[in-house]
Chain A
Amino acid sequence: MPMTTTGRATEPRSLAAKLSNETLCTWLRDMLLIREFEVRSMQAYQNKKIGGFLHVYIGQEAVAVGTIAAATARDPVITAYRDHAHALARGTEARYCMAEMMGRLGGCAKGKGGSMHMFDRRRNMFGGHGIVGAQCPLGIGLAFATKYEDEVIDGGASRRITLCYFGDGALNQGSLHESMNLAGVLNLPIIFICENNGYSMGTATARGTTMAEDLTAKAVGYGFESASIDGMDVMAVYDGFMPIAEQCRETSRPAFVEIRTYRFKGHSMSDPRKYRTKDEEQRYQAMDPIERFTKYMAAERGVTEDEHEAMTRSVRKEIREAIRWAEKSPHPELGELYRDVYTDIWGPYRGTSGPEMHDKS
């Protein structure tokens, strides 16, 4: 995969470089938190504490963190199944995510959805989605709904945007193209965020889609603003994404961004990765977004080794506690099988059950 480095972090024009140390430290901490969460999840999966499928985000952390930093808490987020990072970056507590992975009642979908289904209504996180591309039309509905609420119900101007994430594989699904067309026709404030990590399972982007060398071409036929962004640098992600986000917010016109990144691990936990070389993997690992940002923070922002160490320790502690909390959260009892199928009690169904997260700590 060709990689254009549009990182501008050290340039004076960088928007991210103008942000406070405090803000940038939260980005670094979020990235560390996501990494730690994923590493521990892999262990828990190997120990059979997590069932089903597990797709980790290691290597892609800068994408979720940099884009979500450019949005507000009221902007809806929707993504595919590689979704833990988006929930965490949105502020969903790690323990709710971990409990979900372990299928516990305390999880953010009551342990019924697992790794692919992180939901947090309060934080406008509308989920991970297991069917490739199927979240995209929902993104259109979300963008329609926020605009409708802002303009029609509240009688003001549309002020929110929807962040609709998907992988390069989803570029080839009809649902995405129908969504792009709908967004354009309906003038909706949505950003299509293609996380191009080079592969759709074992299929390299260029084997799966046309114009892989410049995916912004996909936006041309729909008349969208677009950008191609280096996803291995969180500051470049923010710099590239922020202007697009602001424009989308102002004009209520959809936009498309390709963010070039790399998943360091396999597609899921059972992937021998025969479709790519060790050499390629090492080349990307040398661009680790966390290391890169850590270096920047040390060199330009005076974050000392001790401070960094303290951050790492606090992240480890948070995830350790999340795991402990999740393990104590009960498995859903059998009656839960029949719950949440319908809203009301009907036949064998037990109706629905209140809040998404059951804090029993």
Chain B
Amino acid sequence: MAQMNMVRALNKALDETMAADERVCVIGEDVGVDGGVFRVTKGLLDTYGENRVFDTPLAECGIVGTAVGMAIYGLRPVVEIQFSGFMMQAFDQIEQNMARFRRRSRGRFPVSMVLRTPYGGGIRAVEHHSESREAYWAHTPGLKVVIPSGPRNAYSLLHASINDPDPVIFYEPKAVYRAFREEVPDVPDPIEIGTAQVVREGADITLVAYGAMMRPTLEAVEDLTEMHGVDPEVIDLLSISPMDTDTLVTSVSKTGRCVIVHEGPRTCGIAAEIIARLNENAFEHLLAPIKRVTGYDIHFPFFQVEKHFLPDADIIVDAVKETLAYE
């Protein structure tokens, strides 16, 4: 056990999986000499050499396609894309090859690879450097989409993702990278991809969030319990796809009320999918319409208005109070 931030925890997971399996290679722009834009791959080049940790030219489409090729041959590449906004250059390879190759080859060519990338706001940057477009990837059959919320689950989930036989889009909340430290175990916790975590049990309402939005959500929970006498249940989704419908349904069947938080745009966002599943599976238990606290349907704005764009604890508290007041 050691205290560390998310950057260190991810680095530890990469280091351990590389040490354990020589098929694991790390590729991306400036992942070697520079150790990545956010220094997640720092030191790996020194330990594993340039055949396993290599700097690529600035060519996202080429990088992802290369990794798919490596994967269908049997290697286990871990790609870093510097910001999730630059995945758009590789959309073709992600959608057409990474997601489909297993099925297209009737299972003969599995694509065991991970695409790691920082996503989300909180660093005072525009558009492509701050957005959260996990809904695109969740919409694509064949991909798994994982989003950790803290150092400990980041560590365990990256282990799980690299060892997963399917392609995983691993979204790292850049606002959390160095935001806090946590005890990280010496061996990964047995978290399975596709499993959400109930981080607080409660009776009155279910709060669902993931990634960077767990922090304002937990802040809101503190306020709700201390100031408003509310007893919320909190779910950290962790896997966007496959989504843990059972955990969501069990919780909402118990509480009857639900608020979902994410920073990506509202329309066709992850919250919409969760609401659909709850509608299908927990309709008779619902006591109030489910509320969404999300980013707006606009392009991620510039720094002066960023804090108005991103959901915060106050807005979440208000949404919870409104949902509770519904009769």
A-to-B contact residues, CB < 8 Å: 51-53, 103, 111-114, 116-117, 130-133, 169-170, 172-175, 200-203, 207-209, 274-275, 331-332, 334, 336-338, 341, 348
Contact of A103 among B61, B88, B298, B302 (CB under 8 A): B302
Contact (Cβ within 8 A) A113 B89: no
Tell me how far the C-beta of A74 lies from the nearest C-beta in chain B, rounded to whole angstroms.
29
Contact of A337 among B61, B124, B125, B308 (CB under 8 A): B308
Contact (Cβ within 8 A) B58 A172: yes
| CA gap between A230 and B91 in the complex, in Å | 37
Q: A131-B86, A203-B29 are in contact. Are A275 and B34 (CB under 8 A)?
A: yes
What 5 A-B pairs have minimum CB-CB distances, sorted nearest first?
A: A51-B303, A172-B57, A51-B124, A202-B34, A169-B58
Contact (Cβ within 8 A) A51 B61: no
Contact (Cβ within 8 A) B303 A103: yes
Tell me how far the C-beta of B180 lies from the nearest C-beta in chain A, rounded to whole angstroms.
20
Contact (Cβ within 8 A) A274 B128: no
Q: A103-B304, A113-B126 are in contact. Are A202 and B298 (CB under 8 A)?
A: no
Contact (Cβ within 8 A) A111 B29: no
Residue in A53, A131, A331 whose Cβ sees the most chain B Cβ within 10 Å:
A131
Kindly list chain B residues whose C-beta atoms are within 8 Å of the C-beta of A334.
305, 308
Tell me how far the C-beta of A17 lies from the nearest C-beta in chain B, rounded to whole angstroms.
38
| CA gap between A173 and B124 in the complex, in Å | 27
Tell me how far the C-beta of B119 lies from the nearest C-beta in chain A, rounded to whole angstroms.
16
Contact (Cβ within 8 A) A337 B296: yes
B288 within 8 Å of A (CB atoms):
no
Residue in A169, A201, A331 whose Cβ sees the most chain B Cβ within 10 Å:
A201
Tell me how far the C-beta of A269 lies from the nearest C-beta in chain B, rounded to whole angstroms.
12
Contact of B30 among A111, A203, A341 (CB under 8 A): A203
| CA gap between A182 and B45 in the complex, in Å | 39
Contact (Cβ within 8 A) B301 A131: no
B177 within 8 Å of A (CB atoms):
no
Tell me how far the C-beta of A169 lies from the nearest C-beta in chain B, rounded to whole angstroms.
4
| CA gap between A51 and B125 in the complex, in Å | 7
| CA gap between A133 and B128 in the complex, in Å | 14
Interface footprint category on B = 20 to 34
B185 within 8 Å of A (CB atoms):
no
14 CB contacts below 8 A, A to B, read A53-B125, A103-B303, A113-B126, A114-B126, A117-B126, A131-B128, A173-B58, A202-B30, A203-B33, A203-B57, A207-B55, A274-B33, A338-B296, A341-B299
- The binding surface of chain A is classed by DSSP as loop
B141 within 8 Å of A (CB atoms):
no
Contact (Cβ within 8 A) B308 A52: no
| CA gap between A205 and B296 in the complex, in Å | 40
Tell me how far the C-beta of A115 lies from the nearest C-beta in chain B, rounded to whole angstroms.
9
- 18 further A-B pairs in the complex, CB-CB below 8 A; given A170-B58, A172-B59: A52-B302, A53-B125, A103-B302, A103-B303, A117-B126, A172-B57, A173-B58, A173-B89, A174-B61, A174-B62, A203-B29, A207-B55, A208-B57, A274-B34, A275-B34, A332-B304, A332-B305, A341-B299
Tell me how far the C-beta of B57 lies from the nearest C-beta in chain A, rounded to whole angstroms.
4
B127 within 8 Å of A (CB atoms):
yes
Contact (Cβ within 8 A) A203 B58: yes
Kindly list chain B residues whose C-beta atoms are within 8 Å of the C-beta of A332.
304-305
Contact (Cβ within 8 A) A51 B304: yes
B69 within 8 Å of A (CB atoms):
no
Contact (Cβ within 8 A) B302 A112: yes
| CA gap between A331 and B299 in the complex, in Å | 18
Tell me how far the C-beta of A283 lies from the nearest C-beta in chain B, rounded to whole angstroms.
21
Contact (Cβ within 8 A) A113 B302: yes
Q: Mark B1-42, 1 if CB is under 8 A from A, else 0.
A: 000000000000000000000000000011001100100000
Interface residues of B in 285-317 (CB under 8 A from A): 296-299, 301-305, 308-309
Q: Mark B123-137, 1 if CB is under 8 A from A, else 0.
A: 011111100000000
For A333, give the chain B residue with the smallest CB separation. Answer: B305
Kindly list chain B residues whose C-beta atoms are within 8 Å of the C-beta of A202.
30, 33-34, 55
